[in-house]
């Protein structure tokens, strides 16, 4: 019935700055771009960036929040250092979790919060 997650939508009031952040800082490739929308193809899932008019009170609350979107990485320390050197704003340093993996949160220019996650090695 339901298949894999096809796309995740995020929102920004500063579309150009956020669009460029995903390309320059995170290395995403634009698969499609149109008026106020940009689609990045990420290994089977699309990340869709949509422009908001922040003067619209209903729309303004859609940007600058925790997204619940996590990006899996093999080496969280190396990824953290590389992204930090590109100006990515992290909320802390990566921390080991009780379940054996590590996590750290970062923000895009629209203040949306994302997570880097390193899962524990499988024996």
CATH code, 78: 3.10.180.10
Q: Is 8 exposed, middle or buried (0-12, 13-18, 19+ CB in 10 A)?
A: middle
For the cut 70, the answer to whether the pLDDT of residue 123 exceeds it is no
Percent of the chain with pLDDT over 90: 80
Q: Is residue 86 part of a domain?
A: yes
> Average pLDDT over the chain, rounded to whole?
93
Nearest-10 Cα torsion for 6, 52, 18, 106: -70
Q: Is residue 103 part of a domain?
A: yes
Q: What is the average per-residue pLDDT within 43-66?
A: 88
* Segments forming the whole domain that contains residue 78: 7-53+65-118
For the cut 90, the answer to whether the pLDDT of residue 79 exceeds it is yes
Q: Is residue 123 part of a domain?
A: no
Closest C-alpha to 31, from 14, 16, 48: 48
Q: Is residue 81 part of a domain?
A: yes
Q: Model confidence at 47, in pLDDT bands (50, 70, 90)?
A: very high
Q: Beta 89-90 vs 95-96: how paired, if at all?
A: unpaired
Q: pTM of this prediction?
A: 0.88
45 phi/psi in degrees, rounded to 5: -125, 140
Count the domains in the chain: 1
For the cut 80, the answer to whether the pLDDT of residue 98 exceeds it is yes
Q: Which residues pair with 32 in a beta bridge?
A: 39
Q: Is residue 18 part of a domain?
A: yes
Percent of the chain with pLDDT over 70: 99
């Amino acid at each position: 019935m339901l298949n894999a997650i096809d796309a995740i939508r995020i929102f920004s009031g500063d579309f150009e700055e956020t669009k460029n952040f995903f390309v320059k800082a995170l290395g995403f490739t634009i698969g499609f771009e149109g008026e106020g929308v940009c689609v990045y193809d990420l290994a089977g899932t699309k990340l869709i960036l949509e422009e908001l008019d922040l003067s619209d009170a209903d729309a303004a609350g859609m940007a600058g929040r925790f997204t619940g979107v996590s990006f899996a990485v093999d080496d969280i320390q190396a990824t953290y250092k590389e992204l930090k050197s590109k100006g990515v704003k992290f909320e802390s340093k990566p921390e080991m979790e009780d379940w054996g993996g590590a996590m750290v949160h970062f923000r895009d220019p629209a203040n949306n919060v994302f997570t880097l996650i390193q899962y524990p090695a499988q024996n």
